[in-house]
Amino acid sequence: MGGTVICPGCGADIPDVPELRSDHLYVGAASGCWAAYMELTGRLMADPGLLEARLLSVDAYMAQHPGVRGRQAGQSVWTHLVGLCLALEFGLSGADSTRAKARVAAPHATFDWLEPPASLGSITVLEILATASPLDHRVAVERWAGSVWTAWAPYAEEVRRRAIGVLER
């Protein structure tokens, strides 16, 4: 390992994992943060009772690590913010949200770049990894998702309109 770095997405002080570095087209995360997220994903996948938390964690992580201006990053941010809106404001299940997000990311769709806020939420993947029980995981992921959604509040009305549009289709 090569010390620690500050993740450009969530701001966590995280181990640097040089062997995992890559230039991802739309995820703005330090390599150690991505590794932590993969560890969390494995934990959430290991317990079928945590499916909803896993699906919500995808939207929270991706919206918290928006990457740099570009078509793929713009589409990713919009899609995952719509997912957070559908789950947190409209109460959609993970499966229903996933189906709706597929309509957001349709091949013909266009996405204006949303300039990320200075802070992308006060909770990071590290706090979710620190939980021990399935109930703690679920609660922590919900708090994390809420924190990320709140951080993107300047765009909430635009995102909500797009979410309503996919629900109406």
pLDDT at 2: 63
* Average pLDDT score over residue span 147-158: 98
Report the number of distinct structural domains present in the chain.
1
Separation of alpha carbons 159 and 101, rounded Å: 12
- Residue-range definition of the domain harbouring residue 45: 4-168
The predicted model scores a pTM of 0.93
DSSP state of 47: -
Residue 91: C-alpha distances to residues 66, 118, 119, 169 (Å):
24, 27, 25, 18
Give the SS3 label for residue 4. Answer: strand
Q: pLDDT tens digits for 53-107?
A: 999 999 999 999 998 898 888 999 999 999 999 999 999 998 899 899 988 888 8
